[in-house]
A and B are shown apart, each in its own frame.
Chain A
Amino acid sequence: MIRVENLKKTFGKNEVLKDISVTIKPQEVVVVIGPSGSGKSTFLRCLNLLETITAGHVYIEGVDIADKKTDINKIRTEVGMVFQQFNLFPHKTVLENIILAPMKVKKQSREQAVKKARELLGKVGLAEKENVYPDSLSGGQKQRVAIARALAMEPKIMLFDEPTSALDPEMVGEVLEVMKQLAREGMTMVVVTHEMGFAREVGDRVIFMDGGYIVEENTPNQLFNNPQHERTKLFLSKVL
């Protein structure tokens, strides 16, 4: 479903991703962990070309996304993304946030988009909030709307970049719950997070990144209980 081959990314002289190769299968939930600055966000953002790729290839369902002939907007409709800072559109109501892209990009009728949006709002537990502006929502509610907004495009893959890191502790649970539900439904997910409990519970595989490399990848059980590399052990000793 996602195939990354020898991906490199540099910002100026700063080589952030040095040589990343990984394959992610359909319905797999891959959790990416690693110290700050190790390139987790950059890696994720290369998967939908929010960052240009310096070298190597990213294939989404066999399509090379950096190929000039590829319509990246088409690819992006199939790869949803959820950001740490939510990035809801503050000038639009919750409902308008969700129906905007389906109407503009997929040319859905308003009725069609609204129907789907209401369904998704129900799913994330915010049915009664459709007419409020994001400003009046709590962090956890904002992030659930952001997830609904991404799902409205009916993506095949969802990318999450530290979706709970900007939340007050008491709101982390409600967002993780929505993500778990999504995983149970078989969504292919790549999740950057510091929530090790989530990684253990829903992750099929955990990738540990450090210094622009994938240092180690394994099942959560193996990686957390039996890390092979010193750097992995060091990192885990700090976060567990």
Chain B
Amino acid sequence: MIQLAGSFIESISVSTGFRFDLLAGYMPLFLKGTLYTIGISLFAIFIGLILGLLIGLGELMRNKLLSFPFKAYVAFVRGTPFFVQILIIHFGVIPVFLGKTNGVAAGIVALSLNSAAYIAEIFRAGIQSIDKGQMEAARSLGMTHTQAMKSVILPQAFKRMIPPLGNEFITLIKESSLTAIVAVPEIMYWARAFNGEYYRVWEPYLLAAVIYFILTFTLSILLSHLEKRLATDDKS
């Protein structure tokens, strides 16, 4: 079986000139890169979720003066390219805090701050999508705004947020490839290194594409399972 696969790959590489042998040497690096991609994405999702919830609640504050900074932040992040944001964080923001710059820190911070803005919008839209009669019913029973939010509004809103949050996580994994430009050793970093070393295009970039696809596809399957489970929870 393995022999068969081996000879199959060999025949492709002969007929197309695809250099599996070079890729094989880079495999440990791509593997490490994949772990980095997963790692910084998880970090960014976690921080982005917390910041996003806070920013989203900030946007919903009734006092316009108080909600303005949150809205401005979201508008700024959404209105500027992630590429630019990464460079600003890497060369401008991180050195202020750490004294020198650090690619991984910059990558995680940039991804978190970026996704926080999009997640804030998802939270805001999710909360606003809940019928206002729900809040009124809860308040009419004597619950405080915070109690009503926690027990009535947010549990319903979270359920509606799962599909758009899933999309955001997938976007985030793909965007994390841009952190290669600040030398985060993730997938694209090693793909570019391969390209620089051997002057070959198809091998590294096709492999990178396949790895990203496997990551995002797996995530989307997990999310659709979660969605189905929550949907059936309701009807029991």
Interface residues of chain A, those whose CB is within 8 Å of chain B, are 48, 50, 73-74, 76-77, 79-81, 83, 85, 87-91, 100-101, 104-106, 133, 135-136, 146, 149-150, 153
Q: Which residue of A lies closest to B148 (CB)?
A: A104
Q: B136 near A83 (CB under 8 angstroms)? A: yes
Q: B159 near A91 (CB under 8 angstroms)? A: yes
B7 at the interface (CB under 8 A from A): no
Given A100-B151, A133-B234, A133-B235, A73:B134 Cβ within 8 A? no
**Considering the complex of A and B, which 8 residue pairs feature the smallest CB-CB distances, nearest first?**
A87-B137, A77-B142, A101-B141, A87-B133, A81-B140, A76-B142, A105-B142, A73-B142
User: What would be 10 A-B contacts, judged by CB atoms less than 8 Å apart?
Assistant: A50-B140, A73-B139, A77-B141, A85-B131, A87-B137, A89-B138, A101-B142, A105-B142, A133-B234, A153-B141
Q: A50 near B159 (CB under 8 angstroms)? A: no
Q: B234 near A83 (CB under 8 angstroms)? A: no
Q: How far is the CA of A79 from the CA of B140 in the complex (A)?
A: 8
**Residues of the A chain whose Cβ atoms lie less than 8 Å from the Cβ of B67:** none
B155 at the interface (CB under 8 A from A): yes
**Residues of the B chain whose Cβ atoms lie less than 8 Å from the Cβ of A150:** 140-141
Q: How far is the CA of A1 from the CA of B151 in the complex (A)?
A: 31
**Residues of the B chain whose Cβ atoms lie less than 8 Å from the Cβ of A149:** 141
Q: A105 near B147 (CB under 8 angstroms)? A: yes
Q: A105 near B141 (CB under 8 angstroms)? A: yes
Q: A76 near B140 (CB under 8 angstroms)? A: yes
In the complex, given contacts A50-B139, A76-B142, A153-B142, what are 10 additional A-B residue pairs having Cβ atoms less than 8 angstroms apart?
A50-B136, A76-B139, A81-B140, A83-B137, A87-B133, A100-B141, A100-B151, A101-B143, A104-B147, A150-B141
Give min CB distance, B203 to chain A, whole Å: 50
Q: B151 near A104 (CB under 8 angstroms)? A: yes
Q: B140 near A135 (CB under 8 angstroms)? A: no
Q: How far is the CA of A110 from the CA of B138 in the complex (A)?
A: 18
Give min CB distance, A77 to chain B, whole Å: 4
Q: Which residue of A lies closest to B136 (CB)?
A: A50
Q: B residues 111-145 with Cβ under 8 Å of A?
A: 131, 133-134, 136-144
**Most chain B beta-carbon neighbours within 10 Å: one of A50, A74, A83, A89:** A89
Q: How far is the CA of A85 from the CA of B140 in the complex (A)?
A: 14
B216 at the interface (CB under 8 A from A): no
Q: How far is the CA of A73 from the CA of B235 in the complex (A)?
A: 32
**Most chain B beta-carbon neighbours within 10 Å: one of A48, A88, A104, A106:** A104
**Residues of the B chain whose Cβ atoms lie less than 8 Å from the Cβ of A76:** 139-142
The one of B144, B152, B159 that contacts A89, using a Cβ cutoff of 8 Å: B152
Q: A90 near B147 (CB under 8 angstroms)? A: no
Q: A90 near B140 (CB under 8 angstroms)? A: no
**Residues of the A chain whose Cβ atoms lie less than 8 Å from the Cβ of B144:** 73
B236 at the interface (CB under 8 A from A): yes
B156 at the interface (CB under 8 A from A): yes
Q: Which residue of A lies closest to B150 (CB)?
A: A104
Q: How far is the CA of A227 from the CA of B8 in the complex (A)?
A: 96
Q: B residues 140-191 with Cβ under 8 Å of A?
A: 140-144, 147, 151-152, 155-156, 159
**Most chain A beta-carbon neighbours within 10 Å: one of B140, B152, B159, B234:** B140
**Residues of the B chain whose Cβ atoms lie less than 8 Å from the Cβ of A48:** 140
The one of B133, B143, B235 that contacts A104, using a Cβ cutoff of 8 Å: B143
The one of B138, B147, B155, B236 that contacts A133, using a Cβ cutoff of 8 Å: B236
**Residues of the A chain whose Cβ atoms lie less than 8 Å from the Cβ of B138:** 89, 101
Give min CB distance, A190 to chain B, whole Å: 13
The one of B133, B142, B147, B235 that contacts A83, using a Cβ cutoff of 8 Å: B133
Q: How far is the CA of A26 from the CA of B134 in the complex (A)?
A: 29
Q: Which residue of B lies closest to A73 (CB)?
A: B142
**Residues of the A chain whose Cβ atoms lie less than 8 Å from the Cβ of B136:** 50, 83, 87
Q: How far is the CA of A26 from the CA of B169 in the complex (A)?
A: 57
Give min CB distance, A99 to chain B, whole Å: 11
